[in-house]
Amino acid sequence: MNQSRQHFSYNDFIVGDSMSLGSKNMTAEEVIAFASEFDPQPFHLSEEAGKATVLGGLAASGWHTCAMLMRMMADTFIRNSDSQGSPGLEYVKWLKPILAGDTISATTTILEKRVSRSHPTLGIIRMNHKIINQSGVLVCEAQGSIFMRVDAQEA
């Protein structure tokens, strides 16, 4: 998949292709800011509380990880595309804690694509997303679909 293109349409997604979404350092400030608003559990708010749990330190909310994955997807291909949203996710696995200071890298692989039978202008692209930390350990995996507008000449 040509990641340098300016705009992504349905036909640009090739089944089997993988895209790097780049890397992101998760700072303590961001971890605490997200958690304060959406997931105010002690281990997402302080190093001390995190160390007292199986997480082992100040850990990012799993929802923060997902939101960051979304931002990385947006910056890589969704923002400049014919995206029409998403019907949801088949699963999300928070496999290992992401601790403050960790750098995560994400990769999206295109699993399948088809045009909706009931809405012939709507393409459905099924994707797998993997997130590793700076040690190469898989910390999160998710799978789901996005909707992409299909023009008559593409269908």
Distance, CA of 150 to CA of 106 (rounded, Å): 27
Tell whether the torsion through CA atoms of 47, 49, 55 and 61 is positive or negative: negative
Interface positions, 14-43, toward a copy of itself (CB under 8 A)? 34, 37-41, 43
Shortest Å distance, C-beta 17 to a copy of itself: 21
Give the DSSP letter of residue 76. I
Helices (H), 39-132: 47-51, 62-73
Distance, CA of 126 to CA of 90 (rounded, Å): 10
Interface positions, 63-82, toward a copy of itself (CB under 8 A)? 63, 66-68, 70-71, 74, 78-79
- Draw the binding track, 107-146, toward a copy of itself (x: CB under 8 A; -: no contact): ------------x--x---------------------x--
* Burial group, residue 14, by CB count within 10 angstroms (0-12, 13-18, 19+): exposed
Q: Name 83's bridge partners.
A: 148
Which of residues 12, 13, 58, 61 is near a copy of itself by CB under 8 A? 61
Q: Which stretch binds a copy of itself (CB under 8 A): 2-10, 15-23, 93-101, 125-133?
A: 93-101
- Per CB under 8 A, residues contacting a copy of itself are 34, 37-41, 43, 53-55, 59, 61-63, 66-68, 70-71, 74, 78-79, 83-95, 97, 119, 122, 144, 147
